[in-house]
Structure formats: C-alpha cells, structure tokens
Chains A and B, each alone.
Chain A
Amino acid sequence: DIVMTQSPLSLPVTPGEPASISCRSSQSLLHPNGYSYLNWYLQRPGQSPQLLIYLASNRASGVPDRFSGSGSGTDLTLKISRVEAEDVGVYYCMQALQIPYTFGQGTKLEIK
C-alpha cells in the first residue's frame, strides 16, 4: 500500500494568516498521463468530507480561491492564503493512483 504522511497533525492559525499542510507519499503519485493522483479533503466537525483539490492542483467546484494545491511526485502541499473561521476541521490527503486508495492521518486546523 502507498503510505501517506501528513504534517503537521495539529495546526493552530490566527484568522487572516496563511496555513500550509504537507503530504508525503511512500511512492510517486505521478501517473504516466502526467497528472499526480492526489486529492485534498476538508472534513468539518460533524460533516462528511468535501473535496477541495483534485489531481494535486485543481480546485473543486465552489472551493474558494484562497485554497491551492501544489507539488508532484511524493511531496504535495495544500496552502490556505488567508485562514477564515469556516476553514476549521480536519484536512486529509488521499492518493488515487493505486488500489487500495489511502488517506493521510489528517491535520486538525483550529483557530487561535
């Protein structure tokens, strides 16, 4: 299985400040088609996960442009340019290159 490792696991952020979450995979997520098969999700308290970023750097429909994804291969990053109160929750990366699909442990973002 591809192991996904996120850091940090806890992320206290002041509103208006930027935030960054790292996701490292045990194998490259680069598909022969040129895409990195890495997705980012936010799970707000008491809710189902929602897709933020797909294929490493594409924002899902309706996702604010303060969210961005970057990186390729084994090192991927999610950035929030200016954190807002509604961004609180647990962020997960997930690889969809190889069965079984696997998730990172989750990063809990909280407001300072």
Chain B
Amino acid sequence: QVQLQESGPGLVKPSGTLSLICAVSGGSISSSNWWSWVRQPPRKGLEWIGEINHSGGTNYNPSLKSRVTISVDRSKNQFSLKLSSVTAADTAIYYCARMVVETAVTKGIDSWGQGTLVTVSS
C-alpha cells in the first residue's frame, strides 16, 4: 500500500513562496501513475492544483498555472510543490496524492497524504 507524507513550513509570509515536499513510500514514483497536489481552504471544498508523472510531464490548474511549479525527484522517490506570490487566499490544507493510471485509463486518486496546513500571514 503506497503511503504519502507532506512536509514543509506551516507558515509563509504574503508575497513569499510556499514550498512542500511529498515523500512516497511503499511504491515507486517511476510508475504509470500521476502524482497530484490538491488543496482545501479551511471549512471549504477541494481544489486540484496540478500533477506530474515520473518523467516530469506536468498538468496545472489554469487558475494557478502562472504561480505553480511541480517537480519530481526520482532518486528520492518524492515530488514537490512551489506556489509563488502567495496571499491569504492560499491558506489551506495541502494534500499530495496519487492518481492511478492503468492501461491508459485514469482510475481516480486512490491514495492521499494526511495533509499539511499552510497559513499565509505576516
């Protein structure tokens, strides 16, 4: 069973850059799956941020694309998120997750990290 664990600062200053890492265990990041970031503002719904595959291919939410960078480190079996020029509206629980892709069929996000709260405040 694959496990994902987010890590990074819980507090970021306005206009700064939010940086998170997701460590993957129990499975290889070099599989056919895609690796996603999803966020959830306090007491609100879920928003998909973007995803990356093992070879570095990425897809981003257009609403965040100008500020988001997702990268992968196969040697460490982890992937990361950077979100620049943050404001209070970026305060949220950030989840890393695995989107299962089998025989070119996308089968949903089946594994989620526990989530990490990032607060944007001075």
Contact = CB atoms under 8 A, between A and B. Distances in A.
A94 interface: yes
A48 B115 contact: yes
Interface of B: 36, 45-48, 59-63, 95, 99-100, 104-110, 112-115
B54 to A, nearest CB: 18
A51 B46 contact: no
26 contacts: A33-B105, A39-B109, A48-B112, A48-B113, A48-B115, A49-B109, A51-B110, A54-B107, A55-B107, A55-B108, A58-B107, A60-B110, A92-B45, A94-B46, A94-B48, A94-B109, A96-B108, A99-B59, A99-B60, A100-B48, A100-B59, A101-B48, A103-B46, A103-B48, A104-B45, A106-B46
B108 A54 contact: yes
A102 interface: yes
Interface in A12-42: 33, 35, 37, 39, 41
A78 to B, nearest CB: 13
Q: Is the interface of A mostly helix, strand, loop or mixed?
A: loop
Interface of A: 1, 33, 35, 37, 39, 41, 48-51, 54-55, 58, 60-61, 92, 94, 96, 99-106
